[in-house]
A = this chain, B = another copy of it.
Amino acid sequence: MSAQMSIAGPEETHSAPTLSAVAKLAGVSSITVSRVVRLPDLVAPETRGRVEAAMRELGYVPNQLAVGLARARTRSIGVLVPTIANSIFADTVQGLSDELEPLGYAVILAQSRYDDAREDHMLSALLSRRPEAIIMVGSPATEDGARLLRRAGIPVAETWDLPAAPIDAVAGFNNYEAGVAVARHLVERGRNNLAFIGGDDPRATRRWNGFNDTAQALGAKAPRRLVLDRNASGSVVALAELPGVDAVFAANDAHAIGFMSGLRKAGLLRDGPAAEQPVAIIGLGDLEMGRLIAPSLSTIRVNGDAIGRTAAQLILTRQGPRHIDLGFELVLRDSG
């Protein structure tokens, strides 16, 4: 695919009808048509009827670009996520979009793919669309990105984390404490040989830090950390690289389920309760799947949908607290 490639044109270029096309057909001026759309009470019923008929006949759809230019309000918001296919963030996009779409906002979606340069690029591309706010997972990875957002002078919501120096609003949870909670639970249950598997993005790293610090403080062996690529299948073979491990914290449920599959192949998975598992495994995210499989997956539950809805509300108003900790919950099931 060449970079000059562009959208194919329609067979017949009948460009969309404009306000003045409708006006001409209805025998009024364009501003009257505009009023029929926005302030129908100001237009005489008889005139309004004629205009509405003309709009229907031509299939008039207002041009939001022009509206946005004229009013300096685009009714759109930019959303930046690392990836959308990895459903942990899909819930958040769904949540914020359910909150915003009924209000007439369009969601402009961009993916950084965990790539700092691409993140900056997408941020700038997003901003060039003049969204009224930006919602992103995490914080800008570079100072350039942060500066871009600050200069834009629009509400910004950072999510899925609690950054120390946020740009504006925050809707997330404490990733470090999540790691602490998991390590404490595992060590208290007598596990001694811990490992952390997952990505090495900032949020995963914060979980690792909490996990590592706590495990060592409580007297367990120094945990190992295995950085895996993004798809769960990689974690199936992780076991081979962790000889002697008796408890694993996975950065997300997909990795946890992949690792469970590896344990099963190695004959190290029991159908019984957590105490009987040769290797305990705890995930993060609380995917619906985790509840349905056997053994059921213990996990740090994070409400991605609520994060999205909260972020939406934060950018809709300046009242009230700007930094919201949605918390997490250690949900214990059969895996650890």
B108 touches A107 (CB 8 A): yes
**CB-CB < 8 A to A20: which residues of B?**
none
A86 touches B288 (CB 8 A): yes
A53 close to B (CB within 8 Å): no
**CB-CB < 8 A to A288: which residues of B?**
86, 231-233, 254, 258
Work out how many copies of this chain go into the complex.
Answer: 2
Among A6, A13, A260, find the residue whose CB has the most chain B CB atoms closer than 10 A.
A6
A62 to B129, CA, bound (A): 9
B94 touches A111 (CB 8 A): yes
**CB-CB < 8 A to A153: which residues of B?**
10, 12-16
How extensive is the interface on chain A, given as a class? 35 or more
Binary CB contact string for chain A from 272 to 305 against chain B (1 if under 8 A, 0 otherwise): 0000000000000001110111100000000011
A203 to B5, CA, bound (A): 32
A122 to B61, CA, bound (A): 12
Q: Which residues of A99-144 have CB atoms within 8 Å of chain B's CB atoms?
A: 99, 101-104, 106-111, 113, 122, 124-130, 132-133
* CB<8 Å pairs between A and B, sample of 13: A1-B316, A7-B315, A9-B318, A61-B148, A76-B108, A86-B90, A86-B288, A93-B109, A98-B111, A106-B108, A232-B292, A236-B292, A257-B292
Q: What 10 additional pairs, Cβ within 8 angstroms, besides A84-B94, A85-B305?
A: A1-B103, A7-B154, A12-B153, A59-B151, A61-B148, A76-B108, A90-B90, A101-B111, A254-B289, A289-B293
